[in-house]
Amino acid sequence: MLYDTTDRAYLDGVSGIAVTNLGHGHPRVTKAITDQAKRLVHTSNLFHIGLQEAVAEQLRAITGMENMFFCNSGAEANEAAIKLARRFGHQKGVETPKIIVLDGAFHGRTIGALSATGNQKIRQGFGPLLEGFVRVPPNDLTAIDALGETLNGVVAVLVEPILGEAGIRPLDTDYLQGLRSLCTKHQWLLIFDEVQTGNGRCGSAYVFEQMAVEPDVLLTAKGLGNGLPIGVCMARGVAAEQLGPGDHGSTYGGNPLCCAAAQAVLTTLTEENVMSQANHIRDALLTALHGHLADPTLVTEVRGRGLMIGIQPTTATDQIVQRGLDRGLLLNIAGGDTIRVLPPLVMSLEQAGEMGAGIAQILNEIAQQEDRA
Ligand SMILES: Cc1ncc(COP(=O)(O)O)c(C=O)c1O
């Protein structure tokens, strides 16, 4: 729940854009942050940071990745991966390395991450952007294979397994498995941007586990600190050998305070098994949604996994956020016309039902209004 300045309560279906996956004021995370704030907040990476090593060890055990670079955001995790991929190319004698990215993808707003981003509206007005990105449509393996045969200098493929900002659009599992084979065949790095899909949001620590596809580089941020700024670029195999001490850096990255939060988040996700709630909450929300729609054709499709839910309505979407606020529900629109619902893993099934029913009632009202117009 969130409360406004008049103490009005809101059921949070946004989670700070997929960040507070364990809700607001989670006791274990709050205790870790307050205890650590009293001890030591920051030292810089000139010194060993035990908590950073402990979080790296937790991530290694969960993901199988070998080396970790800690930073402060999703965009910075993507920047690290872009540098890593370019370095990998240079080591192989590729002078102008290229990274394949997807139409509609979102990787962040710093210049490198923005150059990898496919959304024209977000890129517009900030040129010149970086060279070295080749864009292809999602879920089209032949387009990528063709590039492998004709284009020199490809070193990596960077994808979000579920395109979040584009409106919760999952890549097909077959496609991701095909990508894995193509990357192995052409000796490209497969980079998964799990900034939004990660940290329990989709019902597993990282969504790649559900797709049986192992990336070479794995990026995350958002939910890792449950609100404290932390990002990480993880690598395995040859990808883990590309960046050594001094090659890349961040003053704040992985500082003791943010790592204390991340440690508490990962411990909670793995020990308390809250992740298994994701699909129960999803089911309760969607059952209530469908049960309360006046007309089933008001929703054409529901996409995503776990608590990354994209609802595609046939009504206009411009009033949905405000109507949600009026009902005490926090909702969000992504990709222009998709209702993006990102509830926390700690939402009760009753609350999930309330949210699903509320969304249905909003759509019913808008449909009625549109019919009258
Ligand atoms: C898939 C993905 N990558 C990167 C980012 C950028 O993360 P940040 O806003 O922490 O820089 C986002 C943020 O929405 C995202 O969804």
**pLDDT tens digits for range 62-109:** 999 999 999 999 999 999 999 999 999 999 999 999 999 999 999 999
> Which atom of ligand 1 approaches the CA of 75 most closely?
11
The answer on pLDDT for 372 being more than 70 is: no
**Would you say residue 254 has pLDDT above 90?**
yes
Which positions ≥6 away from 318 have C-beta within 8 Å?
none
Q: Which residues are catalytic?
A: 106, 193, 222
3-state SS, residue 315: coil
Interval between CA 350 and ligand 1 midpoint (Å): 30
Ligand 1 closest atom vs CA 193: 1
CATH class given for the domain over 275-372: alpha beta
Tell me, what amino acid is at 359?
I
139: left (phi over 0), alpha (psi -120 to 50) or beta: left
109: Cβ contacts below 8 Å, ≥ 6 apart:
75, 117, 122
Let me know if the fold of 27-271 is the same as that of 275-372: no
Amino acid at 15: S
Question: What per-residue confidence (pLDDT) applies to 150?
Answer: 87
So where are the chain's domains?
27-271, 275-372
Summarised one tens digit per residue, pLDDT across range 314-336 is: 999 999 999 999 999 999 999 99
pLDDT (tens digit, 9 = 90+) per residue, 116-147? Answer: 999 999 999 999 999 999 999 999 999 998 88
For position 371, what pLDDT does the model report? 85
Dist. CA 198 → ligand 1 center (Å): 11
Residue 373 in this model has a pLDDT that exceeds 60: no
- Residue 272, number of CB atoms within 10 A of its CB: 14
**In the structure, what pLDDT confidence band is assigned to residue 53 with cuts at 50, 70 and 90?**
very high
Which residues partner with 252 through β-bridges?
A: none
Q: Which helix (H) or strand (E) holds 302?
A: strand 299-303
Q: Among 79, 101, 107, which is best to mutate for testing ligand 1, by the most ligand atoms less than 8 A from CB?
A: 107
Mutate to test the pocket of ligand 1, among 102, 158, 196, 230 (most ligand atoms within 8 A of CB): 196
The closest of 144, 231, 151 to 193, measured between CA atoms, is 231
Average pLDDT over all residues of the chain? 97
Which residues contact ligand 1 via a Cβ below 6 A?
Answer: 17, 73-75, 78, 106-108, 160, 164-165, 193, 195-196, 221
CB atoms within 10 A of CB 129: 14
**pLDDT recorded at residue 335:** 96
The predicted model scores a pTM of: 0.98
What CATH fold (topology level) applies to the domain 27-271?
A: Aspartate Aminotransferase; domain 2 (3.40.640)
- Could you tell me the distance, in angstroms and rounded to a whole number, from the CA of residue 296 to the centre of ligand 1? 33
